[in-house]
């Protein structure tokens, strides 16, 4: 976890899988976190984003989001696209993550690769 208002999940992986992933970013006040409403095989799912370690949480103009190096600010309500992968909600890599219940949707996680935002 990194930051406050919002708190974001980060990873230190060089690369996740290289599929195109994305969706609409939303701020969840109950857990002070961001989630993504993503299209997964034609079905909309809500997932927790896991950003690369160089991403910073932001709060600008009353909106929460993230600052992505060499790309810019992505605020709640924006649509994102990047390369990465989906992890299931019960993925063993996330079993010890200290995430508020509201921030741990049943859809699982979306891992976003550094330097891949479009």
For 63, other C-beta atoms within 10 Å of its C-beta total 14
CB 82 within 8 A of CB 117: yes
- pLDDT, residue 82, reads 94
For residues 34-53, one letter each, b for 16 or more C-beta atoms within 10 angstroms of the residue's C-beta and e for the rest, the string is bbbbbeeeeeebbbbbbbbe
SS3 (DSSP) at 92: helix
CB 34 within 8 A of CB 26: yes
- pLDDT, residue 2, reads 92
What is the CA 109 to chain-centroid distance, rounded? 7
- pLDDT, residue 15, reads 61
* Region of residue 61 (left: phi > 0; alpha: psi -120 to 50; beta: else): left
How far is residue 118's CA from residue 110's CA, in Å, rounded to a whole number? 16
- pLDDT, residue 96, reads 86
Q: What is the pTM of this model?
A: 0.92
Residue that is written with structure tokens 């990465």 in the block: 84
Q: Among 61, 92, 64, 97, which Cα is nearest to 78's?
A: 64
* Mean pLDDT per 10-residue interval, the chain, length 118 residues: 91 79 95 92 92 95 95 96 93 89 91 90
- pLDDT, residue 41, reads 80
């Amino acid at each position: 976890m990194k930051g406050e208002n919002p708190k974001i999940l980060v990873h230190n992986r060089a690369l996740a899988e290289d599929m195109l992933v994305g969706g609409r970013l939303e701020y969840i006040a109950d857990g002070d976190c961001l989630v993504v409403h993503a299209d997964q095989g034609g079905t909309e799912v809500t997932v927790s984003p896991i950003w690369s370690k160089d991403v910073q949480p932001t709060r600008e103009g009353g909106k929460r989001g993230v600052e992505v190096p060499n790309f810019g600010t992505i605020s709640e309500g924006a649509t994102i696209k990047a390369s990465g992968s989906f992890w299931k909600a019960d993925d063993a890599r996330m079993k010890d993550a200290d995430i508020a219940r509201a921030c741990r949707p049943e859809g699982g996680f979306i891992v976003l690769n550094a330097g891949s935002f479009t």
